[in-house]
Structure 1
Amino acid sequence: MLYRIAEAADWQEARQTGFFASADLQAEGFIHTSELYQVLETAARYYAGRLGLVLLELDEDALQAAGVVVKREFVASRQQDFAHVFGPIPLAAVVRSWPFAAAADGRFSLPTELGG
């Protein structure tokens, strides 16, 4: 599974259009995603202080079956490979979603179903 931290407005639009897309797709040509073990660091680095977030769980096999290309690419600033999704994500590939907010101390935690 892959995970995407999403703006609530982007998720709401996806539920209306049938496809999730975000500003990074238009700006960079792909949607950034994380493996489960990368989600909390990604949240701390890029989403601190942000409200109205949603965590999306994506089925990589469903993405590929829909013809959406997924490539793992090395990100030097994190010294890790990250999965990049090259196209809008069909709702059929979104397995689950959760509200994703930081606690009062500013730290994010995973949903209970994911071990948080």
Structure 2
Amino acid sequence: MSSEILHITERSLWEAARASGAYTMSTRGRTLEEEGFIHCSSRRQLPDVAAFLYGSYAGPDELVVLVVDPDRLDVPLVYEAPKPGAEEFPHVYGPIPAAAVVDVEAWAPVRD
């Protein structure tokens, strides 16, 4: 397996994706169709991404982290920086098949 990539989302969105067979949300409140790709991160990048996207999130749904095996994707995975010289993040250019999600972890933000 190549290095896993991660995506944080609400549990209900993941449950709907499992039922339909593919995950199609790009980021909080934005679909793949609206954004053009699905935002993902490495494990090291995840805390900052979660704080940025869900720092003020108070529910009603539990947050989960989808652990994706890139070898199971049937769409392009591209590492890109949001601006020149910035850190690169994994972007999935198409739906993530439910079968590519090899684990689902409850998200517990780290408190200082």
TM-score (structure 1 length as normaliser): 0.79
**Cα 1:16–1:78, aligned 2, differ >3 Å: closer, same or farther?**
farther
Equivalents in 2 of 1:48, 1:24: separation in Å?
Answer: 20
Instruction: Say whether 1:19 aligns with 2:27.
Output: no
Instruction: Say whether 1:95 aligns with 2:86.
Output: no
- Would the aligned equivalents of 2:17 and 2:24 in 1 still touch at CA under 8 Å? yes
Unaligned runs of 5+ in 1: 108-116
Partner of 1:53: 63
Unaligned runs of 5+ in 2: none
Equivalents in 2 of 1:102, 1:71: separation in Å?
Answer: 27
Shift in Å, 1:24: 3.5
Partner of 1:76: 83
Q: For 1:38-79, what per-residue CA distance to the aligned partner results, in whole angstroms no more than 9, with x for missing partners?
A: 00010111111223211010001111xxx2111111123992
Shift in Å, 1:28: 1.1
Q: For 1:11-44, what per-residue CA distance to the aligned partner results, in whole angstroms no more than 9, with x for missing partners?
A: 0101110111113412111000001110001011
Instruction: Say whether 1:9 aligns with 2:12.
Output: yes
Partner of 1:34: 41
- Would the aligned equivalents of 1:24 and 1:32 in 2 still touch at CA under 8 Å? no
Equivalents in 2 of 1:91, 1:85: separation in Å?
Answer: 14
- Would the aligned equivalents of 2:38 and 2:91 in 1 still touch at CA under 8 Å? yes
Partner of 1:62: 72
Partner of 1:110: none
Greater share of helix residues, 1 or 2? Answer: 1
Equivalents in 2 of 1:8, 1:77: separation in Å?
Answer: 33
Aligned length: 102
CA RMSD of aligned residues (A): 1.9
